[in-house]
Copies of this chain bind each other. A is one copy, B any other.
Amino acid sequence: MKVSRKKQKAETRQKLMDATAAELASGRSFDTLSLREVAKLAGIAPTSFYRHFHDMGSLGLALIEEQGETLLTLMHHVREQASGGHSLIRTSVETLFDHIFANQGMSRMILLESMSRHSVFREAAEKLFATMSRDLAEFLVWDAKERGVPMGHPQLAANSMVAILFTTGIALLKTPVEDRGRHIEAAIVQLRMIMRGAEAMGQKT
């Protein structure tokens, strides 16, 4: 009873996911990873892989879903925390980028897979983006009302923001440390620019 079976199984399952994530983090693309390879990295026999995932595809899906959830709750927390204060854009940006840095491989994978066509993951990744945008839009509306300013096309504004966040996020992954600050500041200006634009469009129409 020292090590229950369930616990043991969950552990090796996690080992598989961790090994894959680590490999992704080191720059490998997901679809060059073989079942045998991750099995070896996780320290189990190739055939034992099947006890945990039916497929490399299932493993990838599990990874995306795990990552997506933590990302969404993270952003949620940021908004709750910063709701009282201001500089919300700055805090959100910095938090998101921190997270992306801490999970480079996974972030890249999600972004990449969201673009591939037939992939099983595409749906999952797209859903994540859609949810992020929707959450953000909702917040933008609330915030605009709070501040008493108009807001045109909040959903489109949110879409633009998410797009910029992720493209700069990816760009950051390849940027030498000393230049990162500059890029982050640039992203913040870009987001503010969109805010301004949205507000301007809200006044006229």
Measuring CB to CB, which residues of chain A are less than 8 angstroms from any residue of chain B? 27, 29, 31-32, 108, 111-112, 115-118, 122, 126, 152-153, 156-157, 159-160, 163-164, 166-168, 170, 173-174, 186, 189-190, 192-201
Contacts of A167 in B (CB 8 A): 163, 166-167
Contacts of A168 in B (CB 8 A): 163
Contacts of A164 in B (CB 8 A): 160, 163-164
Complex copy number for this chain: 2
Bound-state Cα–Cα, A158 to B31, Å: 33
Residue of B nearest to A186 (CB): B156
Residue of B nearest to A157 (CB): B193
Contacts of A200 in B (CB 8 A): 196-197, 199-200
Shortest CB distance A28–B (Å):
8
Q: Are A112 and B108 in contact (CB under 8 A)?
A: no
Q: Are A115 and B117 in contact (CB under 8 A)?
A: no
Residue of B nearest to A27 (CB): B117
Contacts of A193 in B (CB 8 A): 152-153, 156-157, 160, 194, 197-198, 201
Bound-state Cα–Cα, A111 to B108, Å: 12
Q: Choose among B115, B173, B196 the residue that contacts A196 (Cβ–Cβ < 8 A).
A: B196
Excluding A31-B32, A157-B190, 7 further A-B contacts by CB distance (< 8 Å) are A108-B116, A112-B116, A159-B186, A160-B164, A163-B167, A164-B164, A200-B200
Bound-state Cα–Cα, A200 to B192, Å: 11
Contacts of A174 in B (CB 8 A): 117, 122, 126
